[in-house]
Amino acid sequence: MTINTKKQEDPMSTVTPTRAPHQDVPTGHKPAEGRVGAGLFDPRQLVKSLPDAFRKLGPRVMVKSPVMFVVLIGSVVTTVLAIKTPGDWFGWVIAAWLWLTVVFANLAEAVAEGRGRAQADTLRKAKTDTVARRLVGDSEERVPGTELKVGDLVVCEADDTIPGDGDVVEGVASVDESAITGESAPVIRESGGDRSAVTGGTKVLSDRIVIKITTKPGETFIDRMINLVEGAARQKTPNEIALNILLASLTIVFLLAVVTLKPFAIYAGADKQTSMIVLTALLVCLIPTTIGALLSAIGIAGMDRLVQRNVLAMSGRAVEAAGDVSTLLLDKTGTITLGNRQAAEFVPVRGTTEPEVADAAQLSSLADETPEGRSIVVLAKEKHGLRERHQGELVGAEWIAFTAQTRMSGVDVDGRKVRKGAAGSVIAWVQEQGGTVAEDADTTANRISEAGGTPLLVAVEDDRGARILGVIHLKDVVKEGMRERFEELRRMGIKTVMITGDNPLTAKAIAEEAGVDDFLAEATPEDKMALIKREQAGGKLVAMTGDGTNDAPALAQADVGVAMNTGTSAAKEAGNMVDLDSNPTKLIEIVEIGKQLLITRGALTTFSIANDVAKYFAIIPAMFAVAYPSLDKLNIMGLASPESAILSAVIFNALIIIVLVPLALRGVQYRPMSADRMLRRNLGIYGLGGLIAPFIGIKLIDLLISLIPGIG
């Protein structure tokens, strides 16, 4: 990968006073109860979803699933035939179980949609009709929030509900976004940065902001969330459409095969054993009804699992693409590292000791409120037992604040002057005071820089003169467990690329420590876009995260673009997913959920087709054993009678759908491994399991049926 070679920035720039780490990236966040729905399958949801399952029996709805539409027609045909022969209990029982098969299939989809509606109901509570204070020139006018147009400026102050989606163009305020994110901690929204986007329905807690409306009424973020979690906006993905075509083709093949059995049966004298009811039962058992019934539920549940993790997917295509991703672009700061450089060690120069360096470093950092300054104070306390002092304790102290010109900070107290800062600035200060610079000060600083760290020199002027005491090693701390997670991604065949604005030396050191496959240093928006296009040109799918307006082009170009909820409106519009928690590391979880969706669909398809093979051994011998006694050898299950065999197969075919609903909603457990190993594993579990389960299930049902007088 090409690495730009720009001049390295002065390391002291990292200690510029900044706002404390923002609360927008909660750790260990748990979604609000009731907003995301149950994570696992809830049997009570079956009862609640039954009315919807019956409402879906309309032909216009059923025709969307070719396999289940054929089952519906078979149910109608067998019901008509049973009515014509009212004394034929066999026909009535077959018709009843075929209807149950259709209802069970609709129930799987209804349960998945029901969970989405529960989430949508909670979101609707956050969607209130508000009165907006619209700016017209220098005055305000109160208008209903529904009358706002794109480009309108509105004012919001403490306790006001934000009337629509937009960007803060003036001011800074604390905002309660718990209705959207489920996180009770307020967040800061301000103009002129990447944290300017606000969402309609959230509440301003303090201060005053002016918002520029960016969406039309009815198209707000909450409106889109409601449509998506309800499934109203869900479109079938290309893979799902392709699988539907395959299932429809298999259905046509089996339909032709079953139709041709009738002439053979008449010729063989087995006409009674191949009645229209029996042939219909055979067709339903042989076509892939299991996966046909669960296919839609699997797709809906995949999006639901993302919502449970506070990620909003704008389409099922995005979820599916996440499962096929082969390249991950990850920001270094806040994703791979903690985001703030931390003091790692105190390195004394010749003639001084480490405790001396620690004491001076802590003293010079007491007024430094940056994360780096705080980490120096903590390290001196933890490693050297130095009690944390406070500014108020140092009577008569003169605090020297950091400035871009001096690139130093420190304190003058008790006749001592202590300074810490960039190597060049501190060395120049020591020389100005008439002191000498230790030979190993510069070499130590260079060694730390080459290792990817940031060196800060510590100096003092006292009755012994001005001199360098040592070097503070600031280190970009890699988050715990990141190397292991990247190793998992590598086993999945996914390439990880770290994106950073750091110089190449620092970027290389962090990349090696974190265990990423590659890195792009001093990255610009154009560099990100070029990298994505190069990866895509090689046939790879690319995923990335971003939150700024400058990330929007790359987010739009990526196959999976995850925008942070704290980011700008442009970033959220460009991406096809929005992370409500604004946690960049969640991209790894999104990829795992996408893969779980694909694995679940593949596993249940394998199970369904293998399932159908086993049913041959139940129905075919029952149909033709009378005409061809040699076929009785295929009756390896030893079923009681032809009627019992056919009925057992139909009952099993219906029950297996309801048994697999929890698996379809929860998803097959995902484990990082290579594609060929995963294929072997799923074939072993779901392929072999699909062959064995019908033998056991049909035999058990047959034993129960055979106990009924007149059947066994």
Binding-site positions for Mg(2+): 547, 551
Residues carrying an active site annotation: 331
Report the distance separating Cα 45 and Cα 304, nearest Å: 15
- The neighbouring-strand residues paired with 674 are none
Q: What Cα–Cα distance (Å) separates residue 237 from each residue in 36, 165, 240, 321?
A: 23, 29, 5, 9
Contact between 56 and 109 under an 8 Å Cβ cutoff? The reply is yes
Bridging pattern class, strands 495-499 and 327-331: parallel
Which spans in 309-347 are helix H?
A: 316-323
Tell me the residue length of the chain: 712
- The neighbouring-strand residues paired with 157 are 208
Q: Identify the residue whose tokens are 């484990």.
A: 671
The dihedrals phi and psi of 412, each to the nearest 5 degrees, come to -110, 115
Binding-site annotation, residues? 368, 372, 402-409, 420, 547, 551
**Taking CA 137 as the corner, what is the angle to CA 136 and CA 141, rounded to the nearest 5 degrees?**
25
**CB-hemisphere CA count at 13 Å for 700?**
8
43's tokens: 């049997």
Backbone torsion region of residue 306, taken as left when φ is above 0, otherwise alpha when ψ lies between -120 and 50, otherwise beta: alpha
Q: Which long-range contacts (CB under 8 A, 24 or more apart) does 438-444 make?
A: 438/349, 438/350, 438/351, 438/467, 438/468, 439/350, 440/349, 440/350, 441/349, 441/468, 441/470, 441/471, 444/347, 444/349, 444/470, 444/471
Q: Which residues are CB-contacts of 700 (< 8 A; sequence separation ≥ 6)?
A: none
With H, G, I as helix, E, B as strand and everything else as coil, classify residue 334. coil
Q: Which residue type is seen at 129?
A: D
